[in-house]
């Protein structure tokens, strides 16, 4: 089993190509430029992740916000590929491996 990190992420329900329901970490898309096109928002605490969810989805129903908050969880080390980018507490994106090296 994979070791969990000290980082938190927001998981969202999706469907894979076979139509099975999955629970994947949220990825944000960024516009082109020198920044990576997809970044996983990760957080140093569950509380920071909770604030992020509540701030991002102010226009959604309270029920949907609560469902999303319920999906905040610790991230397993192997859940994000080492060369994919993450933005810890919404800071500048860095490779997941670099963040873990400083863990």
Contacts of 35 (CB under 8 A, 6+ apart): 93
Provide the pLDDT for residue 2. 64
Provide the pLDDT for residue 36. 64
Provide the pLDDT for residue 19. 78
CA distance 29 to 53: 16
DSSP letter string, 30-83: --SSSS-SEEEEEESSHHHHHHHHHHHTTTS-HHHHHHHHHTEEEEETTSS-TT
pTM above 0.75, yes or no: no
Number of Cβ within 10 Å of residue 38's Cβ equals 12
The encoded tokens of residue 27 equal: 């990825």
Going from the first residue of the chain to its last (103 residues), give the mean pLDDT of each consecutive group of 10, the final group possibly shorter.
80 79 77 70 93 76 82 92 93 94 80
């Amino acid at each position: 089993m994979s070791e969990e990190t000290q980082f938190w992420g927001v998981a969202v329900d999706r469907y894979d190509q076979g139509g099975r329901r999955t629970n994947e970490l949220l990825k944000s898309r960024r516009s082109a430029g020198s920044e990576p096109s997809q970044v996983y928002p990760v957080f140093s605490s569950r509380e920071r992740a909770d604030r992020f969810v509540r701030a991002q989805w102010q226009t959604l129903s309270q029920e949907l916000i609560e469902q999303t908050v319920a999906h905040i969880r610790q991230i397993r080390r192997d859940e994000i590929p080492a060369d994919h980018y993450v933005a810890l507490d919404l800071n500048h994106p860095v490779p997941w491996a670099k963040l873990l090296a400083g863990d």
